[in-house]
């Protein structure tokens, strides 16, 4: 029985996108229509993305865009609903 549980856990762990996959998804993501907490939002095929904000980064390079991935499987339905609403016309 424990080997079955291990296989399920292993399968779940391997289904998460890699950093390279998320980077590629971000680069092809479309901008959403609304902001969340005053931050830009994008919709990718694997994740939603929300702009990271650090004062230091903006001061160093105002054109630099950093974002945090918001994975659908790792967040509550309420959080994902907020992103879906921001990305709906």
| 49 inside domain | yes
What average pLDDT does the structure give for the chain? Answer: 81
| 78 inside domain | yes
pTM, to two decimals: 0.74
| 21 inside domain | yes
DSSP annotation of 73: G
Q: Is 79 exposed, middle or buried (0-12, 13-18, 19+ CB in 10 A)?
A: middle
Q: Which two tokens stand for residue 49?
A: 């993305």
| 59 inside domain | yes
pLDDT per residue over 49-83, tens digit each?
Answer: 998 876 666 677 767 667 899 999 999 999 999 99
Please count the structural domains in the chain. Answer: 1
């Amino acid at each position: 029985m424990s080997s079955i549980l291990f296989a399920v856990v292993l399968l779940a762990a391997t289904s998460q996108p890699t950093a390279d996959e998320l980077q590629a998804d971000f680069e092809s993501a479309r901008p959403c229509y609304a902001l969340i907490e005053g931050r830009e939002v994008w919709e990718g095929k694997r994740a939603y993305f929300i702009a990271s904000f650090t004062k230091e980064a903006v001061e160093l390079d105002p054109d630099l865009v950093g974002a945090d991935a918001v994975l659908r499987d790792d967040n509550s339905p309420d959080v994902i609903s907020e992103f879906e609403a921001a990305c709906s016309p």
